Structure 1
Amino acid sequence: MVEIDSILRNVIKKGKVVIGAKQVIKNVDSGLAKIVVAASTCPPELKNKINIDDLIEYNGNGVELGTACGKPFSIAALAVLEGDESDITALRGLSS
């Protein structure tokens, strides 16, 4: 999990990310999201609404995902809208 935590911090620092179910769904539906990261505890009904091929399940709960992102709150899902292509590629590589 250390590798994904480092990549997530880098993407949040340098890129454009939205956090929260409504924002993630809105940006996936509009085609702006490049990749989505969902906590392992993300509700199944939310995951079903996130219609994107690049969905990575974070191997930790929402609090751990929030901590990995440097946020003091729980995160069910986040969408990367813009970022360094090497970071996005690295995230995609973790899903395989």
Structure 2
Amino acid sequence: MDVNEELRETESSGKIVLGSNETLDATRSGESKLTIISTTCPGDVEEDIRKYSGREKVPLYYYPGGGKELGLALGKPFLVSTMAIIDTGDSNIRELGDVLDEDQLE
């Protein structure tokens, strides 16, 4: 699966939220179907997202690039350190959550 291609499809046909506060809110409420964290996400934000993703059983995916790369993958001209997928649209992005280790959810 080409993660960047699926991210672009999700962004164009589904519903996503970007940014630490919005992602944390969507994860905490269980609204997120998949939460994505870049390698440059601040540690305290990652810790909070992990805590709530475990509590709400929201799968996490660690994007292999930083915020710049994740932003570019989404066609955004800014850094994206975290994002939540609310509606996958026509993408298969949810499959990323199916391949994650259970130990990512605490």
Secondary structure of 2:40's aligned partner: coil
Identity %: 31
**1:92 to partner: Cα distance:** 1.8
Gaps of 5+ in 1: none
Give the equivalent residue in structure 2 for 1:91: 96
Secondary structure of 2:92's aligned partner: helix
Give the equivalent residue in structure 1 for 2:85: 80
Superposed CA RMSD in Å reads 1.8
Give the equivalent residue in structure 1 for 2:59: 54
Deviations 1:49-84 (A, max 9, x none): 112141111000100000001100000100000124
1:39–1:61 CA contact under 8 A, matched in 2: yes
Paired with 1:16 and 1:93, the residues of 2 have a C-alpha distance of 19
Size of the aligned set, in residue pairs, is: 95
Equivalences for residues 6-17 of structure 1 within 5 A = 6-17=5-16
Deviations 1:15-57 (A, max 9, x none): 0100000000111111111111111111111111112141111
Paired with 2:100 and 2:70, the residues of 1 have a C-alpha distance of 16
Bigger CA drift: 25-34 or 70-79? Answer: 25-34
Secondary structure of 1:87's aligned partner: coil
Gaps of 5+ in 2: 102-106
Over 2 Å off, 4+ runs? 88-91, 93-96
